[in-house]
Amino acid sequence: MTAYDDLMAFQRDTEALSQVAGRLGWDQETMMAEGSAPQRAEEHAAMASVLHARRIDPRVGDWLDKATATDPVSAANLRHIQRNYDRTMKVPADLAAEIAKTTSLAHRIWAQSRSDDDVASYLPVLEKVVGLRQQEANALAAGGDRYDALLNNYEPGATGAEIAAMFAALRPGLVDLRAAILDQPKPQTLTGIFDEAAQLALSTKLALAFGYDLNKGRIDKAVHPFSSGSGIDVRITTRTNPSDPFNCFYSTIHEVGHAAYEQNISADYLLTPLGGGVSMGVHESQSRIYENQIGRSRAFTGWLYGQMRDAFGDFGIADEDAFYACVNRVSDGFIRTEADEVQYNLHVLMRFDMERALIAGDLKVTDLEAAWNDRFAADFGYAVDKPSNGVLQDVHWSEGLMGYFPTYSLGNVYAGCLNVAMRNDVPDLDSDLERGDTSQATTWLRENVQTHGGLYEPREVITKAARVEPSEAPLMSYLTTKFSDIYQL
Protein backbone atom coordinates (compact mmCIF):
# COMPACT_ATOMS: atom_id res chain seq x y z
CA MET A 1 0.00 0.00 0.00
CA THR A 2 1.38 3.39 -1.05
CA ALA A 3 0.52 6.59 0.80
CA TYR A 4 -1.86 7.34 -2.06
CA ASP A 5 -3.63 3.99 -1.61
CA ASP A 6 -3.92 4.52 2.14
CA LEU A 7 -5.29 8.00 1.62
CA MET A 8 -7.83 6.83 -0.95
CA ALA A 9 -9.00 3.95 1.25
CA PHE A 10 -9.53 6.36 4.13
CA GLN A 11 -11.23 8.84 1.82
CA ARG A 12 -13.55 6.15 0.44
CA ASP A 13 -14.96 5.48 3.91
CA THR A 14 -15.31 9.22 4.45
CA GLU A 15 -17.25 9.55 1.19
CA ALA A 16 -19.50 6.61 2.19
CA LEU A 17 -20.17 8.21 5.59
CA SER A 18 -20.88 11.49 3.89
CA GLN A 19 -23.49 9.75 1.73
CA VAL A 20 -25.05 8.33 4.90
CA ALA A 21 -25.20 11.79 6.46
CA GLY A 22 -26.83 13.13 3.32
CA ARG A 23 -29.37 10.32 3.35
CA LEU A 24 -30.44 11.44 6.84
CA GLY A 25 -31.30 14.81 5.35
CA TRP A 26 -33.33 13.18 2.59
CA ASP A 27 -35.15 11.05 5.13
CA GLN A 28 -35.95 14.08 7.25
CA GLU A 29 -37.58 15.91 4.34
CA THR A 30 -39.50 12.95 2.94
CA MET A 31 -40.10 10.17 5.45
CA MET A 32 -39.40 11.08 9.06
CA ALA A 33 -42.27 11.85 11.41
CA GLU A 34 -42.16 15.35 12.88
CA GLY A 35 -41.95 14.08 16.44
CA SER A 36 -38.62 12.41 15.68
CA ALA A 37 -36.85 15.74 15.07
CA PRO A 38 -35.00 16.05 18.42
CA GLN A 39 -33.44 12.60 18.04
CA ARG A 40 -32.57 13.30 14.43
CA ALA A 41 -30.76 16.48 15.47
CA GLU A 42 -28.50 14.36 17.69
CA GLU A 43 -27.98 11.82 14.91
CA HIS A 44 -27.00 14.61 12.50
CA ALA A 45 -24.61 16.10 15.05
CA ALA A 46 -22.99 12.73 15.74
CA MET A 47 -22.45 12.13 12.02
CA ALA A 48 -21.09 15.65 11.54
CA SER A 49 -18.67 15.07 14.39
CA VAL A 50 -17.45 11.79 12.89
CA LEU A 51 -16.99 13.43 9.49
CA HIS A 52 -15.21 16.45 10.93
CA ALA A 53 -12.80 14.23 12.86
CA ARG A 54 -11.94 12.43 9.64
CA ARG A 55 -11.47 15.69 7.74
CA ILE A 56 -8.92 16.97 10.26
CA ASP A 57 -7.30 13.58 10.85
CA PRO A 58 -3.53 14.23 10.90
CA ARG A 59 -2.95 11.07 8.87
CA VAL A 60 -4.57 12.84 5.92
CA GLY A 61 -1.88 15.52 6.09
CA ASP A 62 0.85 12.88 6.30
CA TRP A 63 -0.50 10.89 3.38
CA LEU A 64 -0.88 14.06 1.32
CA ASP A 65 2.76 14.91 2.01
CA LYS A 66 3.90 11.50 0.79
CA ALA A 67 1.41 10.69 -1.98
CA THR A 68 2.33 11.19 -5.61
CA ALA A 69 0.07 11.36 -8.63
CA THR A 70 0.70 8.90 -11.43
CA ASP A 71 -2.03 9.93 -13.86
CA PRO A 72 -4.68 12.63 -14.36
CA VAL A 73 -7.20 10.80 -12.13
CA SER A 74 -4.87 10.46 -9.15
CA ALA A 75 -3.76 14.06 -9.68
CA ALA A 76 -7.35 15.23 -9.56
CA ASN A 77 -8.06 13.13 -6.46
CA LEU A 78 -5.07 14.62 -4.66
CA ARG A 79 -6.03 18.13 -5.77
CA HIS A 80 -9.54 17.75 -4.27
CA ILE A 81 -8.35 16.18 -1.03
CA GLN A 82 -5.55 18.71 -0.58
CA ARG A 83 -7.87 21.66 -1.20
CA ASN A 84 -10.52 20.41 1.22
CA TYR A 85 -7.91 19.54 3.84
CA ASP A 86 -6.26 22.96 3.57
CA ARG A 87 -9.59 24.75 3.82
CA THR A 88 -10.69 22.70 6.82
CA MET A 89 -7.41 23.18 8.64
CA LYS A 90 -7.35 26.92 8.04
CA VAL A 91 -10.58 27.56 9.96
CA PRO A 92 -10.07 27.43 13.75
CA ALA A 93 -12.29 24.81 15.41
CA ASP A 94 -13.91 27.30 17.78
CA LEU A 95 -14.80 29.61 14.87
CA ALA A 96 -16.34 26.68 12.95
CA ALA A 97 -18.35 25.75 16.04
CA GLU A 98 -19.49 29.34 16.55
CA ILE A 99 -20.60 29.56 12.92
CA ALA A 100 -22.57 26.32 13.21
CA LYS A 101 -24.27 27.51 16.40
CA THR A 102 -25.02 31.01 15.15
CA THR A 103 -26.37 30.01 11.73
CA SER A 104 -28.65 27.46 13.37
CA LEU A 105 -30.03 30.21 15.61
CA ALA A 106 -30.16 32.71 12.74
CA HIS A 107 -32.16 30.31 10.64
CA ARG A 108 -34.85 30.08 13.33
CA ILE A 109 -34.92 33.84 13.84
CA TRP A 110 -35.12 34.46 10.10
CA ALA A 111 -38.12 32.12 9.75
CA GLN A 112 -39.93 34.01 12.51
CA SER A 113 -38.94 37.41 11.14
CA ARG A 114 -40.14 36.51 7.67
CA SER A 115 -43.40 35.22 9.08
CA ASP A 116 -43.80 38.48 11.05
CA ASP A 117 -42.52 40.68 8.19
CA ASP A 118 -40.16 42.25 10.71
CA VAL A 119 -36.67 43.01 9.41
CA ALA A 120 -35.45 44.62 12.63
CA SER A 121 -35.73 41.40 14.64
CA TYR A 122 -33.48 39.64 12.11
CA LEU A 123 -30.70 42.18 11.60
CA PRO A 124 -28.73 41.64 14.84
CA VAL A 125 -28.22 37.93 14.22
CA LEU A 126 -27.55 38.51 10.51
CA GLU A 127 -24.88 41.01 11.50
CA LYS A 128 -23.31 38.33 13.68
CA VAL A 129 -23.43 35.79 10.82
CA VAL A 130 -21.80 38.26 8.42
CA GLY A 131 -19.10 39.01 11.00
CA LEU A 132 -18.34 35.33 11.52
CA ARG A 133 -18.20 34.66 7.79
CA GLN A 134 -15.84 37.59 7.42
CA GLN A 135 -13.60 36.02 10.07
CA GLU A 136 -13.79 32.68 8.27
CA ALA A 137 -13.02 34.39 4.98
CA ASN A 138 -10.00 36.11 6.54
CA ALA A 139 -8.71 32.73 7.71
CA LEU A 140 -9.29 31.13 4.32
CA ALA A 141 -8.13 34.00 2.12
CA ALA A 142 -4.82 34.58 3.92
CA GLY A 143 -4.59 38.08 2.49
CA GLY A 144 -6.47 37.33 -0.72
CA ASP A 145 -10.03 38.39 -1.55
CA ARG A 146 -12.48 37.62 1.25
CA TYR A 147 -15.51 37.07 -0.94
CA ASP A 148 -13.59 34.78 -3.28
CA ALA A 149 -12.62 32.65 -0.30
CA LEU A 150 -16.31 32.05 0.48
CA LEU A 151 -17.35 31.71 -3.15
CA ASN A 152 -14.80 28.92 -3.52
CA ASN A 153 -16.79 26.85 -1.01
CA TYR A 154 -19.29 26.38 -3.81
CA GLU A 155 -17.35 27.23 -6.97
CA PRO A 156 -13.69 26.30 -6.69
CA GLY A 157 -11.47 28.58 -8.74
CA ALA A 158 -14.10 31.23 -9.46
CA THR A 159 -13.54 34.87 -8.50
CA GLY A 160 -16.01 37.55 -7.57
CA ALA A 161 -14.39 39.92 -10.06
CA GLU A 162 -14.84 37.57 -13.00
CA ILE A 163 -18.47 36.87 -12.05
CA ALA A 164 -19.14 40.57 -11.48
CA ALA A 165 -17.91 41.31 -14.99
CA MET A 166 -20.20 38.68 -16.51
CA PHE A 167 -23.18 39.75 -14.47
CA ALA A 168 -22.61 43.44 -15.22
CA ALA A 169 -22.58 42.61 -18.91
CA LEU A 170 -25.80 40.64 -18.53
CA ARG A 171 -27.79 43.11 -16.48
CA PRO A 172 -28.70 45.86 -19.00
CA GLY A 173 -29.83 43.33 -21.58
CA LEU A 174 -31.99 41.53 -19.05
CA VAL A 175 -33.53 44.76 -17.76
CA ASP A 176 -34.35 45.87 -21.30
CA LEU A 177 -35.67 42.48 -22.39
CA ARG A 178 -37.87 42.26 -19.30
CA ALA A 179 -39.30 45.73 -19.86
CA ALA A 180 -40.01 45.02 -23.53
CA ILE A 181 -41.75 41.73 -22.72
CA LEU A 182 -43.93 43.28 -20.05
CA ASP A 183 -45.11 45.94 -22.54
CA GLN A 184 -46.61 43.20 -24.68
CA PRO A 185 -49.97 41.38 -24.29
CA LYS A 186 -49.69 38.53 -21.80
CA PRO A 187 -50.08 34.88 -22.84
CA GLN A 188 -52.79 32.74 -21.30
CA THR A 189 -52.32 31.21 -17.84
CA LEU A 190 -53.54 27.80 -16.76
CA THR A 191 -56.93 27.69 -15.06
CA GLY A 192 -58.70 24.86 -13.28
CA ILE A 193 -57.62 21.99 -11.07
CA PHE A 194 -55.19 19.27 -12.14
CA ASP A 195 -55.50 15.86 -10.46
CA GLU A 196 -52.52 15.16 -8.20
CA ALA A 197 -52.10 11.49 -9.10
CA ALA A 198 -52.10 12.40 -12.80
CA GLN A 199 -49.53 15.15 -12.14
CA LEU A 200 -47.27 12.68 -10.35
CA ALA A 201 -47.68 10.05 -13.06
CA LEU A 202 -46.69 12.53 -15.76
CA SER A 203 -43.88 13.83 -13.53
CA THR A 204 -42.40 10.32 -13.38
CA LYS A 205 -42.81 9.97 -17.13
CA LEU A 206 -40.89 13.22 -17.57
CA ALA A 207 -38.13 12.05 -15.21
CA LEU A 208 -37.72 8.87 -17.23
CA ALA A 209 -37.87 10.81 -20.50
CA PHE A 210 -34.88 12.85 -19.27
CA GLY A 211 -32.92 9.69 -18.44
CA TYR A 212 -33.40 9.53 -14.67
CA ASP A 213 -32.59 5.97 -13.55
CA LEU A 214 -35.16 4.74 -11.03
CA ASN A 215 -33.02 1.68 -10.40
CA LYS A 216 -30.47 3.99 -8.74
CA GLY A 217 -32.84 6.38 -7.02
CA ARG A 218 -36.45 7.22 -6.30
CA ILE A 219 -38.94 10.09 -6.50
CA ASP A 220 -40.88 11.37 -3.50
CA LYS A 221 -42.78 14.48 -2.56
CA ALA A 222 -41.20 17.21 -0.43
CA VAL A 223 -42.07 20.80 0.45
CA HIS A 224 -38.99 22.09 -1.38
CA PRO A 225 -37.83 19.88 -4.27
CA PHE A 226 -34.22 18.72 -4.11
CA SER A 227 -31.81 16.07 -5.37
CA SER A 228 -29.84 14.07 -2.82
CA GLY A 229 -26.89 11.73 -2.99
CA SER A 230 -24.10 10.78 -5.34
CA GLY A 231 -23.10 7.64 -7.19
CA ILE A 232 -25.70 4.92 -7.56
CA ASP A 233 -28.23 6.18 -5.02
CA VAL A 234 -29.42 9.59 -6.16
CA ARG A 235 -32.93 10.52 -5.08
CA ILE A 236 -35.11 13.39 -6.17
CA THR A 237 -38.21 15.04 -4.78
CA THR A 238 -40.95 17.07 -6.37
CA ARG A 239 -44.10 18.80 -5.23
CA THR A 240 -47.62 19.33 -6.50
CA ASN A 241 -49.95 22.29 -6.64
CA PRO A 242 -53.50 21.51 -7.77
CA SER A 243 -53.74 24.65 -9.92
CA ASP A 244 -50.16 24.71 -11.23
CA PRO A 245 -48.93 21.43 -12.70
CA PHE A 246 -45.93 23.24 -14.25
CA ASN A 247 -44.57 23.63 -10.74
CA CYS A 248 -44.48 19.84 -10.43
CA PHE A 249 -43.24 19.11 -13.95
CA TYR A 250 -40.45 21.67 -14.08
CA SER A 251 -39.35 20.99 -10.49
CA THR A 252 -39.00 17.36 -11.51
CA ILE A 253 -37.06 18.14 -14.69
CA HIS A 254 -34.79 20.55 -12.79
CA GLU A 255 -34.01 17.97 -10.10
CA VAL A 256 -33.50 15.28 -12.73
CA GLY A 257 -30.83 17.55 -14.21
CA HIS A 258 -29.01 17.58 -10.88
CA ALA A 259 -29.58 13.86 -10.32
CA ALA A 260 -28.56 12.82 -13.83
CA TYR A 261 -25.26 14.64 -13.34
CA GLU A 262 -24.61 12.53 -10.22
CA GLN A 263 -25.91 9.29 -11.74
CA ASN A 264 -23.91 9.70 -14.92
CA ILE A 265 -20.48 10.31 -13.42
CA SER A 266 -18.06 7.56 -14.47
CA ALA A 267 -18.55 4.47 -12.28
CA ASP A 268 -14.76 4.46 -11.81
CA TYR A 269 -15.14 7.48 -9.54
CA LEU A 270 -17.73 5.96 -7.17
CA LEU A 271 -17.06 7.11 -3.58
CA THR A 272 -13.94 9.04 -4.56
CA PRO A 273 -13.42 12.82 -4.58
CA LEU A 274 -14.26 12.75 -8.30
CA GLY A 275 -17.58 10.96 -7.72
CA GLY A 276 -19.76 14.05 -7.20
CA GLY A 277 -20.68 17.13 -9.19
CA VAL A 278 -17.66 19.41 -9.37
CA SER A 279 -19.30 22.68 -8.31
CA MET A 280 -22.66 24.29 -7.66
CA GLY A 281 -22.38 26.30 -10.86
CA VAL A 282 -21.76 23.27 -13.07
CA HIS A 283 -24.53 21.44 -11.18
CA GLU A 284 -26.93 24.26 -11.87
CA SER A 285 -25.90 24.30 -15.54
CA GLN A 286 -27.22 20.75 -15.81
CA SER A 287 -30.49 21.35 -13.95
CA ARG A 288 -31.09 24.54 -15.93
CA ILE A 289 -30.33 23.17 -19.37
CA TYR A 290 -32.64 20.21 -18.67
CA GLU A 291 -35.35 22.50 -17.36
CA ASN A 292 -35.08 25.47 -19.72
CA GLN A 293 -33.10 25.03 -22.91
CA ILE A 294 -34.54 21.53 -23.38
CA GLY A 295 -37.66 21.32 -21.18
CA ARG A 296 -39.11 24.73 -22.02
CA SER A 297 -38.14 24.62 -25.72
CA ARG A 298 -40.83 24.95 -28.40
CA ALA A 299 -40.12 21.40 -29.56
CA PHE A 300 -40.33 19.69 -26.18
CA THR A 301 -43.33 21.71 -24.97
CA GLY A 302 -45.12 20.56 -28.13
CA TRP A 303 -44.77 16.98 -26.90
CA LEU A 304 -45.64 17.95 -23.33
CA TYR A 305 -48.83 19.62 -24.58
CA GLY A 306 -49.97 16.29 -25.99
CA GLN A 307 -49.07 14.50 -22.78
CA MET A 308 -51.09 16.98 -20.75
CA ARG A 309 -54.06 16.62 -23.10
CA ASP A 310 -53.85 12.85 -22.60
CA ALA A 311 -53.63 13.22 -18.83
CA PHE A 312 -56.09 16.05 -18.20
CA GLY A 313 -58.24 16.32 -21.33
CA ASP A 314 -58.94 19.81 -22.71
CA PHE A 315 -57.40 22.13 -20.14
CA GLY A 316 -58.18 25.37 -21.91
CA ILE A 317 -55.06 25.93 -24.00
CA ALA A 318 -55.93 25.82 -27.68
CA ASP A 319 -52.73 24.66 -29.34
CA GLU A 320 -49.00 24.04 -29.00
CA ASP A 321 -48.04 27.64 -29.69
CA ALA A 322 -50.34 28.97 -26.99
CA PHE A 323 -49.01 26.27 -24.67
CA TYR A 324 -45.38 27.25 -25.39
CA ALA A 325 -46.20 30.87 -24.55
CA CYS A 326 -48.03 29.78 -21.42
CA VAL A 327 -45.08 27.68 -20.18
CA ASN A 328 -42.74 30.63 -20.78
CA ARG A 329 -45.02 33.37 -19.45
CA VAL A 330 -43.22 36.35 -17.92
CA SER A 331 -45.12 38.15 -15.13
CA ASP A 332 -44.44 40.74 -12.47
CA GLY A 333 -43.43 39.23 -9.14
CA PHE A 334 -41.22 39.66 -6.12
CA ILE A 335 -40.03 36.12 -5.50
CA ARG A 336 -36.85 34.66 -7.00
CA THR A 337 -37.93 31.03 -6.82
CA GLU A 338 -41.11 31.80 -8.78
CA ALA A 339 -39.35 33.80 -11.47
CA ASP A 340 -39.18 32.94 -15.16
CA GLU A 341 -36.01 32.51 -17.22
CA VAL A 342 -35.64 36.22 -17.96
CA GLN A 343 -36.22 37.70 -14.52
CA TYR A 344 -34.57 34.92 -12.49
CA ASN A 345 -31.08 36.19 -13.19
CA LEU A 346 -32.00 39.76 -12.25
CA HIS A 347 -32.89 38.43 -8.80
CA VAL A 348 -29.56 36.65 -8.50
CA LEU A 349 -27.50 39.56 -9.80
CA MET A 350 -28.76 41.91 -7.10
CA ARG A 351 -28.11 39.36 -4.33
CA PHE A 352 -24.59 38.76 -5.60
CA ASP A 353 -23.75 42.46 -5.58
CA MET A 354 -25.21 42.89 -2.09
CA GLU A 355 -23.56 39.90 -0.43
CA ARG A 356 -20.22 40.78 -2.01
CA ALA A 357 -20.50 44.29 -0.56
CA LEU A 358 -21.54 42.86 2.83
CA ILE A 359 -18.50 40.59 3.03
CA ALA A 360 -16.17 43.31 1.76
CA GLY A 361 -17.53 45.59 4.49
CA ASP A 362 -18.82 48.10 1.91
CA LEU A 363 -22.48 47.55 2.86
CA LYS A 364 -23.73 47.56 6.43
CA VAL A 365 -26.36 45.06 7.49
CA THR A 366 -28.45 47.98 8.73
CA ASP A 367 -28.45 49.41 5.19
CA LEU A 368 -29.28 46.10 3.54
CA GLU A 369 -33.04 46.53 3.28
CA ALA A 370 -32.76 49.99 1.72
CA ALA A 371 -30.13 48.70 -0.73
CA TRP A 372 -32.40 45.79 -1.63
CA ASN A 373 -35.44 47.96 -2.18
CA ASP A 374 -33.54 50.52 -4.27
CA ARG A 375 -32.00 47.88 -6.50
CA PHE A 376 -35.27 46.03 -6.92
CA ALA A 377 -37.06 49.23 -7.96
CA ALA A 378 -34.27 50.04 -10.41
CA ASP A 379 -34.24 46.62 -12.11
CA PHE A 380 -37.92 45.65 -11.87
CA GLY A 381 -39.57 49.05 -12.06
CA TYR A 382 -41.80 48.85 -8.99
CA ALA A 383 -41.43 48.90 -5.22
CA VAL A 384 -41.11 45.96 -2.81
CA ASP A 385 -44.39 45.85 -0.87
CA LYS A 386 -43.20 44.02 2.28
CA PRO A 387 -39.96 42.48 3.61
CA SER A 388 -41.14 38.90 3.13
CA ASN A 389 -41.37 39.76 -0.57
CA GLY A 390 -38.01 41.50 -0.35
CA VAL A 391 -34.90 41.11 1.73
CA LEU A 392 -36.43 38.39 3.95
CA GLN A 393 -37.52 36.07 1.14
CA ASP A 394 -34.45 33.79 0.90
CA VAL A 395 -33.09 31.37 3.46
CA HIS A 396 -29.47 31.57 2.29
CA TRP A 397 -27.96 34.43 4.29
CA SER A 398 -29.52 33.22 7.53
CA GLU A 399 -27.66 29.96 7.00
CA GLY A 400 -24.46 31.86 6.28
CA LEU A 401 -24.35 30.71 2.65
CA MET A 402 -22.64 33.85 1.35
CA GLY A 403 -21.03 33.00 -1.97
CA TYR A 404 -23.79 30.61 -3.01
CA PHE A 405 -26.22 32.89 -4.88
CA PRO A 406 -24.00 33.63 -7.91
CA THR A 407 -23.72 29.94 -8.71
CA TYR A 408 -27.38 29.99 -9.79
CA SER A 409 -26.76 32.48 -12.57
CA LEU A 410 -23.33 31.08 -13.30
CA GLY A 411 -25.20 27.84 -13.96
CA ASN A 412 -27.45 29.68 -16.40
CA VAL A 413 -24.44 31.25 -18.09
CA TYR A 414 -22.80 27.82 -18.39
CA ALA A 415 -26.04 26.30 -19.68
CA GLY A 416 -26.16 29.00 -22.34
CA CYS A 417 -22.64 28.08 -23.48
CA LEU A 418 -23.32 24.33 -23.44
CA ASN A 419 -26.55 24.79 -25.36
CA VAL A 420 -24.74 26.37 -28.32
CA ALA A 421 -22.25 23.50 -28.56
CA MET A 422 -24.93 20.85 -28.03
CA ARG A 423 -27.21 22.30 -30.70
CA ASN A 424 -24.24 22.51 -33.02
CA ASP A 425 -23.33 18.84 -32.45
CA VAL A 426 -26.95 17.65 -32.57
CA PRO A 427 -28.53 19.73 -35.31
CA ASP A 428 -31.66 17.55 -35.54
CA LEU A 429 -32.36 17.68 -31.80
CA ASP A 430 -35.72 19.45 -32.12
CA SER A 431 -37.19 16.66 -34.23
CA ASP A 432 -36.41 14.29 -31.33
CA LEU A 433 -37.72 16.65 -28.68
CA GLU A 434 -41.00 16.97 -30.56
CA ARG A 435 -41.45 13.25 -29.83
CA GLY A 436 -40.38 13.61 -26.18
CA ASP A 437 -37.04 11.98 -26.93
CA THR A 438 -34.25 13.83 -25.09
CA SER A 439 -31.70 11.09 -25.46
CA GLN A 440 -29.41 12.87 -27.93
CA ALA A 441 -29.29 15.87 -25.60
CA THR A 442 -28.78 13.92 -22.40
CA THR A 443 -26.18 11.70 -24.05
CA TRP A 444 -24.29 14.78 -25.21
CA LEU A 445 -24.37 16.25 -21.71
CA ARG A 446 -23.37 12.94 -20.14
CA GLU A 447 -20.41 12.48 -22.43
CA ASN A 448 -19.23 16.07 -22.45
CA VAL A 449 -19.93 17.16 -18.88
CA GLN A 450 -21.45 14.68 -16.49
CA THR A 451 -19.19 11.65 -16.88
CA HIS A 452 -16.13 13.66 -15.79
CA GLY A 453 -17.37 14.32 -12.24
CA GLY A 454 -14.55 16.08 -10.45
CA LEU A 455 -11.81 15.22 -12.97
CA TYR A 456 -11.58 18.77 -14.31
CA GLU A 457 -11.99 22.09 -12.56
CA PRO A 458 -15.45 23.68 -12.95
CA ARG A 459 -14.58 26.27 -15.55
CA GLU A 460 -12.38 23.74 -17.35
CA VAL A 461 -15.13 21.19 -17.83
CA ILE A 462 -17.44 23.83 -19.30
CA THR A 463 -14.70 25.18 -21.56
CA LYS A 464 -13.90 21.68 -22.87
CA ALA A 465 -17.55 20.91 -23.52
CA ALA A 466 -18.49 24.29 -24.98
CA ARG A 467 -15.17 24.59 -26.83
CA VAL A 468 -15.05 28.31 -25.90
CA GLU A 469 -14.22 30.19 -22.72
CA PRO A 470 -17.52 30.68 -20.89
CA SER A 471 -19.20 34.06 -21.20
CA GLU A 472 -22.65 35.52 -20.66
CA ALA A 473 -23.19 36.27 -24.34
CA PRO A 474 -24.73 32.91 -25.41
CA LEU A 475 -27.26 33.06 -22.56
CA MET A 476 -28.29 36.62 -23.45
CA SER A 477 -28.56 35.70 -27.10
CA TYR A 478 -30.64 32.60 -26.32
CA LEU A 479 -33.02 34.57 -24.08
CA THR A 480 -33.39 37.42 -26.57
CA THR A 481 -34.12 35.10 -29.48
CA LYS A 482 -36.52 32.90 -27.55
CA PHE A 483 -38.54 35.64 -25.90
CA SER A 484 -38.53 37.93 -28.94
CA ASP A 485 -40.19 35.09 -30.77
CA ILE A 486 -42.76 34.36 -28.07
CA TYR A 487 -43.58 38.01 -27.43
CA GLN A 488 -43.14 39.22 -31.03
CA LEU A 489 -40.66 41.93 -30.03
Q: Does 42 bind a copy of itself (CB under 8 A)?
A: yes
Question: What is the DSSP pairing of strand 219-221 with strand 235-238?
Answer: parallel
Could you tell me the smallest distance in angstroms from the CB atom of residue 10 to a copy of itself?
11
Are the C-beta atoms of 164 and 151 separated by less than 8 Å? no
Percentages helix, strand, coil for the chain, rounded to the nearest 5?
Answer: 70, 0, 30
Angle between helices 160-182 and 473-487 (to 10 degrees): 10
Distance CA 51, CA 57 (A): 10
Q: Does 38 bind a copy of itself (CB under 8 A)?
A: yes
34 belongs to the catalytic site: no
Taking CB under 8 A as the rule, which mask of x and - marks residues 180-219 in contact with a copy of itself? ---------------------------------xxxxxx-
- H/E run at residue 443: helix 439-448
Q: Does 19 bind a copy of itself (CB under 8 A)?
A: yes
Q: Does 13 bind a copy of itself (CB under 8 A)?
A: yes
Nearer to a copy of itself, 213 or 321 (CB): 213
Could you tell me the smallest distance in angstroms from the CB atom of residue 486 to a copy of itself?
39
DSSP character for 185? P
DSSP character for 297? S
Distance CA 362, CA 355 (A): 10
**DSSP conformation letters of 384-424:** --SGGGTTTS-SGGGGT-TT-HHHHHHHHHHHHHHHHHHHH
Q: Does 58 bind a copy of itself (CB under 8 A)?
A: no
Angle between helices 280-288 and 245-264 (to 10 degrees): 130
> Which of 29, 40, 360, 373 forms a contact with a copy of itself (CB under 8 A)?
40
Query: Could you tell me which stretch among 24-32, 67-75, 155-163, 442-450 binds a copy of itself (CB under 8 A)?
Result: 24-32
Nearer to a copy of itself, 69 or 267 (CB): 267
Q: Does 432 bind a copy of itself (CB under 8 A)?
A: no
> Which of 270, 322, 357, 371 forms a contact with a copy of itself (CB under 8 A)?
270
Dihedrals phi, psi of 215, to nearest 5 degrees = -80, -5
Q: Does 35 bind a copy of itself (CB under 8 A)?
A: yes
Task: Quote the radius of gyration of the chain (alpha carbons, Å).
Answer: 23
Could you tell me the smallest distance in angstroms from the CB atom of residue 130 to a copy of itself?
32
Distance CA 88, CA 91 (A): 6
Q: Does 439 bind a copy of itself (CB under 8 A)?
A: no
Residue among 15, 255, 369, 472 flagged as catalytic: 255
Active site residues: 255
- Name the site residues for a copy of itself (rule: CB under 8 A): 12-13, 16-17, 19-20, 23-24, 27, 31-36, 38-40, 42-43, 45-47, 49-50, 213-218, 231-233, 270-271
